[in-house]
């Protein structure tokens, strides 16, 4: 069940909220758990066991880690718990990829391929495995005491606003909130605003651009115009789709009294890839830093190892997105640039450059990365890169031209304005600090949002089903 669907918006959400607010606080975790399991089961009931198994196993390991004194044995408990979680991820997410890659090699050597039945990837698996690992590691590091409340822990893992596509949360961010949180009309209104904003971003912008992205990436011989238009369209689609989803998740959580961390902070105004990763999918970036980069040694083991750790973190982060070489190469691309940027800073080669140079420069690097990220396979990505270099001509091809609509181009223009003007505008208003201007703008923005939300609900009904892009990860 996706947030931008009639069944969620008009059946699940009202039923959930009515009962949630009727129940006393002590019953609310149970209701969250029940509601979240129901939402998950809407996809497939037969995979609910996996979510429950991950929850129970991680909870039990948390208790064991809490009791054990520091030492080798405790370390082995941690390793076992993490490996069990990663094994589940590996089996369901990477087994197909591993066998297919193995078969590709054996077939190229003239051997018979290994026969296998493809394994179905459970929706949201990457996210709830990461939630479970964060809890286990936090308990191991003694940053968080192990919880004895299985119900609260299960509700944290399954909490429906973040269950399917994040944000990737650490248990210690929500543990206190399960024990106590406030429910106010102001907070609910804030959540409603965020939810409606995300809904409008997803349906009005991302979904409108989506057909052009598909058409451009399906071009057998993309021209320079085809490839750059497709890359730009995908750059905007992905941001509005995923940040829209994150807004909705944060909004839904706020309606239930929770405070989720932000997931985006105007990433496309970044002036370097380093800055980009402080602004894009911040919850994942933060998770990777806490649990992967630091575990690999971070910057504590010398300069060369720091670069390697950065690189490895991004490569594994890329692989986390999906079992495909495209994601690995996307990770390699970002990891390499991060390492180079760090080296340049350490060698004092990084000179402050004007924004008009660094923002477009960073955007081009990001877009080149997104092409690999979006392509179905590596040869397809290189076909797009060939197009970007003009290997198939310059102007728009006739196979794409008929699919380029004025409404889509206008939406892209508006999206670009929102991406670049909104943060600048926010900064200006902040600088002015006017007591009159800021509230007036806030009211104006909210009043504009309300009809847009209704338009988005109607557009959702008029168009066919379009799941969120990050559901596939």
Partner 1 sequence: MTEFAQDTVKPNADNPTAPRILHWLPAAFLLTVVAVGAIATLTSPGFREAQPDKTVINGEWMLSWEKNLDSKVPWRTPSVNLWGGLNYRLFGEAQDGALIGQYGWLFTNEEFQTASTDAAEFQSKIAYVKQVRDQLAKDGAKLVVALIPAKVRIYPQEVGRAGVPASHDTLYADFRDRLEDADIAAPDLAAALKAARSQGNVFLRTDTHWTPLGAEIAARAVAETVQELNLELPPADYSLTHKPDVARAGDLLRYVPVPEDVGPELDRVSEPEYTRTDEGGGGLLGDESIAVTLVGTSYSADSKDNVWHFDDALAAALGTEVLNAAQEGKGPIVPMREYLKSQDRKDNPPQVVVWEIPERFLRVVYDAE
Q: Which of residues 193-252 bind partner 1 (CB under 8 A)?
A: 193, 195-196, 211, 218, 220
| Closest to partner 1 by CB, 97 or 190 | 190
3-state secondary structure of 318: helix
Q: Mark the segment that binds partner 1 (CB under 8 A) among 124-132, 157-165, 325-333, 402-410.
A: 402-410
* Residue 281 falls in the annotated catalytic set: no
Question: Where in 63-92 is the site for partner 1 (CB under 8 A)?
Answer: none
Cα–Cα separations (whole angstroms), residue 345 to 243, 275, 317, 338, 379: 30, 13, 23, 11, 34
Residues in CB range of 256: below 8 A, 6 or more apart: 20, 28, 32, 161, 183, 191
Considering only residues 135, 277, 320, 470, which one is a binding residue for partner 1 as defined by CB under 8 A? 277
Least distance to partner 1 from the beta carbon of 24, Å? 21
| Closest to partner 1 by CB, 151 or 275 | 275
Q: Using N-to-C axis directions, what is the helix angle for 437-462 and 185-200, rounded to 10°?
A: 50
| Closest to partner 1 by CB, 5 or 358 | 5
Residue 471 interacts with partner 1 (CB under 8 A)?
A: no
Residue 103 interacts with partner 1 (CB under 8 A)?
A: no
Least distance to partner 1 from the beta carbon of 182, Å? 7
Least distance to partner 1 from the beta carbon of 186, Å? 4
Q: Which of 90, 386, 334 is nearest to 221 (CA)?
A: 386
Rg (CA), the chain: 23
Contact (CB, 8 A) for 222 and 216: yes
Considering only residues 302, 437, 439, 448, which one is a binding residue for partner 1 as defined by CB under 8 A? 439
Residue 402 interacts with partner 1 (CB under 8 A)?
A: yes
As a whole number of angstroms, the distance between CA 438 and CA 426 comes to: 9
Q: Mark the segment that binds partner 1 (CB under 8 A) among 70-78, 140-148, 149-157, 259-267.
A: 259-267
Considering only residues 25, 27, 44, 364, which one is a binding residue for partner 1 as defined by CB under 8 A? 44
DSSP 8-state class, residue 220: S
Residue 354 interacts with partner 1 (CB under 8 A)?
A: no
Question: Where in 280-319 is the site for partner 1 (CB under 8 A)?
Answer: 280, 282-283, 285-286, 288-289, 293, 310, 313
Q: H helices within 349-405, ranges in order?
A: 355-374, 378-388, 398-401
Q: What residues pair up with 393 in beta bridges, in sequence order?
A: 391
Q: Mark the segment that binds partner 1 (CB under 8 A) among 144-152, 337-345, 350-358, 371-379.
A: 337-345
Contact (CB, 8 A) for 221 and 228: no
Considering only residues 68, 358, 446, 466, which one is a binding residue for partner 1 as defined by CB under 8 A? 446
Contact (CB, 8 A) for 387 and 375: no
Q: Using N-to-C axis directions, what is the helix angle for 125-140 and 72-89, rounded to 10°?
A: 180
As a whole number of angstroms, the distance between CA 271 and CA 282 comes to: 16
Least distance to partner 1 from the beta carbon of 3, Å? 12
Considering only residues 102, 434, 443, 448, which one is a binding residue for partner 1 as defined by CB under 8 A? 443
Question: Where in 366-395 is the site for partner 1 (CB under 8 A)?
Answer: none
Among the options 131, 162, 281, 321, which is catalytic? 321
Least distance to partner 1 from the beta carbon of 195, Å? 7
Collect contacts of 364-369 with beta carbons under 8 A, ≥24 apart: 365/273, 365/337, 366/235, 366/267, 366/268, 366/270, 366/273, 366/276, 367/231, 367/232, 367/235, 368/231, 368/333, 369/330, 369/333, 369/334
Residue 265 interacts with partner 1 (CB under 8 A)?
A: yes
Question: Where in 132-191 is the site for partner 1 (CB under 8 A)?
Answer: 170, 173, 182, 184-191
So which residues are the catalytic ones?
Answer: 321
């Amino acid at each position: 069940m996706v947030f931008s669907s009639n069944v969620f918006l008009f059946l699940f959400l009202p039923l959930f909220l009515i009962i949630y607010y009727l129940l006393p606080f002590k019953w609310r975790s149970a209701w969250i758990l029940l509601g979240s399991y129901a939402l998950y089961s809407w996809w497939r009931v037969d995979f609910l066991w996996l979510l429950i198994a991950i929850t129970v196993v991680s909870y039990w390991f948390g208790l064991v880690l809490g009791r054990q004194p520091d030492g080798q044995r405790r370390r082995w408990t941690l390793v076992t718990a993490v490996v069990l979680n990663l094994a589940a991820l590996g089996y369901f997410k990477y087994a197909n990829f591993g066998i297919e890659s193995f078969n590709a090699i054996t077939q190229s050597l003239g051997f018979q391929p290994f026969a296998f039945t493809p394994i179905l990837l459970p929706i949201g698996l990457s996210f709830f495995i990461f939630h479970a690992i964060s809890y286990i590691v936090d308990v191991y590091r003694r940053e968080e005491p192990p919880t004895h409340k299985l119900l609260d822990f299960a509700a944290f893992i399954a909490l429906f606003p973040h269950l399917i596509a994040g944000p990737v949360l650490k248990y210690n961010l929500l543990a206190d909130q399960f024990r106590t949180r406030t429910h106010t009309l102001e907070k609910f209104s804030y959540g409603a605003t965020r939810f409606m904003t995300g809904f409008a971003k997803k349906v009005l912008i991302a979904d409108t651009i989506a057909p052009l992205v598909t058409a451009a990436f399906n071009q057998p011989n993309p021209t320079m115009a085809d490839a750059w238009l497709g890359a730009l369209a995908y750059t905007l689609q992905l941001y509005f789709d995923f940040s829209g989803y994150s807004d909705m998740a944060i909004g839904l959580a706020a309606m239930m009294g929770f405070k989720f961390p932000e997931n985006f902070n105007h990433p496309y105004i970044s002036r370097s890839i380093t800055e980009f990763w402080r602004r894009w999918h911040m919850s994942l970036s933060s998770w990777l830093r806490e649990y992967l980069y630091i575990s690999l040694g971070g910057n504590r083991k010398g300069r060369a190892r720091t670069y390697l750790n950065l690189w490895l973190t991004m490569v594994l982060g890329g692989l986390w997105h999906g079992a495909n070489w495209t994601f690995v190469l996307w990770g390699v691309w970002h990891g390499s640039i991060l390492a180079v940027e760090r080296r340049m800073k350490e060698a004092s080669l990084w000179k402050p450059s004007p924004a008009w140079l660094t923002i477009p420069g960073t955007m081009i690097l990001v877009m080149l990365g997104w092409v690999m990220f979006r392509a179905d396979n590596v040869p397809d990505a290189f076909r797009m890169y060939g197009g970007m270099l003009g290997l198939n001509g310059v102007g728009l091809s006739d196979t794409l031209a008929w699919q380029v609509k004025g409404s889509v181009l206008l939406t892209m223009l508006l999206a670009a304005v929102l991406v670049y003007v909104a943060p600048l505008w926010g900064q200006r208003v902040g600088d002015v600090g006017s007591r009159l201007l800021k509230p007036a703008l806030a009211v104006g923005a909210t009043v504009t949002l309300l009809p847009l939300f209704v338009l988005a609900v109607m557009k959702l009904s008029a168009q066919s089903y379009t799941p969120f892009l990050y559901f596939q990860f």
